[in-house]
A and B are shown apart, each in its own frame.
Chain A
Amino acid sequence: MSTQAEAGEELGELAARAAQGDARATDGLLARVRQMVHRYCRARLGRLPGSEHAADDVAQEVCIAVLSALPRYRDQGRPFEAFVFGIAAHKIADVQRAAMRLAVPTDDLPDGPDAGLGPEDEVLRASEARQARDLLDRLPAHQREILILRVAVGLSAEETGSALGMTAGAVRVAQHRALTRLRILAGEGGLA
């Protein structure tokens, strides 16, 4: 945990150096931020109908926005992750608003060999992922954010807490309640 905390601090230090124009720090920061942002956007957006790569596009926009805003970034006691996910949340909200106004075109079937999952597995996985996303969407926003950051992005309880301005203990209790609610929503009842 301490390692993760140091990693979090390192991200802040990287951001501070990058804000002062350190190119190497900027590259290191981007490498770490990019994966988080892509996972977050994919978890939040999934595969929008008619725009399968929308999540990746949004993630790129978020990364560019973070880089652009970097010279203005000042460490005011708020972790850099919060800065990044704040930008990402706004971008995603914009995309979701735009997607609600879009028409839904019909996709052509993919043509060519696919080394991925088979059609049955693909459908099953897509169905489960969509079901998970639907359930997550029915959670209160702060619980949804906690689960996405912990599961999809892969942050620790400490990192999630620093990104959301909570303690790690509060994150653990909140995520337990979120999972309990998901189980109820999924009709699992007493499933662990």
Chain B
Amino acid sequence: MTEIPDLVPAQQEVDLVAVQRDDQWLGQLGGREAVTGSYGVLGLLRALTVEVDDGLPEVLDRPLPPARPDPAERVTSMRRRNGTRAAVAALLATGLVSMSGVAAAVTGDPFSPYRQVFSAVRGHDPAAARATSQAADMDERVDALRASIAAGQLAHIQAKIDALRARALDLPPGKRDGAARHLDALERQLARAVAREDARLEHRRGLDVAPTDLPKGDDQGQGTTPPGTNSGGTGKHSTTGSGSGGKSSHAPKRRTPTSPVVKPDSTSNGSSPSTAAKDSTGSSGSSGSAGTKTSTASGDPSAAANADDGQ
């Protein structure tokens, strides 16, 4: 397409009559009316309009292809979309289950991959990490104290429990309550252990007049109480029952009993219980064989139980 330069200068005066006449002609051509003086350029333009309109009514009568999908097509496409969504969801679910299965087989925790992703997304929280570390430390210490009590090592336990209570105040509220419950249980366990130890010492005190000190002949012939019925610190009866001047010969070589442990509500600093416990152990060690023999001879089940429990 070759364009020629403007043949009609813009500054040229406009013949208003010619403008009006051309406008009228173009209006007639556009309205498909007969054009007066339809020759020359106007004739060419008229031929153009004839060609443009040739067969146009038939073309316009044809239905236009739908620009929007009709309802049936819309339903089909909706079903197709829903099917695709279901397939994608099933694929995702299968993938997640497979990943969990592999993780469970490897680590034992099916959620470990997701935890890693979750922690990576959440990022590292120093406060949360510190709280978790403190709680874990608290649990370890509580477990250690529980093991000590079970082993009969009761010295300083109460002081350690008090120290843990002070540390528990630094924990977050949720973990603080749990630690307090653990420490309460620990104190109850300690109280029971102390009570058992007291009972054991009391029993041992009663056995201080050991039948093994008696002459064998007296014991065999004059005992009024059968061995099997002599229980719970009734050795004194058997001793007195022997009758034959045994009192003087059995003037008890009593060791001054010291409390082996400190009661849970004791406010002592724990040094004396420790010492007492050692003393107790030492004294029983020195006369342990006699005591054990006595217990066995008298058939006292509580003594045996205490022996087992204490050690």
Contact = CB atoms under 8 A, between A and B. Distances in A.
Interface residues of B, number: 43
B32 A188 contact: no
A157 B23 contact: yes
A74 interface: no
Contacts, number: 130
B127 interface: no
A43 B56 CA distance: 12
Contacts of B39: 191
Nearest to A159: B30
Given A39-B53, A68-B67, A183-B40, A176 B22 contact: yes
B59 A38 contact: yes
A43 B48 contact: yes
Interface string A154-183: 111100000000000000110111011111
A154 B30 contact: yes
Contacts of A151: 26, 29-30, 45, 48-49
Interface in B19-77: 19-23, 26-27, 29-32, 37, 39-41, 43-45, 47-54, 56, 59-60, 64-65, 67-68
A35 interface: yes
Contact of B59 (A46, A56, A116): A56
Nearest to A155: B30
Contacts of A138: 1-4
Nearest to B18: A176
* Among A35, A68, A132, A191: residue with most chain B CB under 10 A: A132
Contact of B60 (A35, A136, A173): A35
B44 A186 contact: yes
A176 B23 contact: yes
B163 interface: no
A182 to B, nearest CB: 5
Contact of A139 (B3, B21, B53): B3
Interface stretch (A5-13, A59-67, A76-84, A105-113): A59-67
Contacts of A126: 51
A46 B51 contact: yes
Nearest to A34: B60
Contact of A140 (B6, B14, B48, B52): B6
Interface of A: 30, 34-35, 38-39, 42-43, 46-47, 56, 59-60, 63-64, 67-68, 116, 125-126, 128-129, 131-133, 135-140, 147, 150-157, 172-173, 175-177, 179-186, 188, 191-192
Closest 6 CB pairs of A and B: A128-B47, A67-B67, A132-B44, A154-B30, A129-B51, A132-B48
6 contacts: A56-B59, A64-B67, A129-B51, A133-B48, A139-B3, A192-B18
Given A156-B30, A173-B14, A177-B8, 8 more contacts: A42-B52, A125-B51, A128-B44, A128-B48, A129-B50, A132-B41, A150-B29, A176-B18
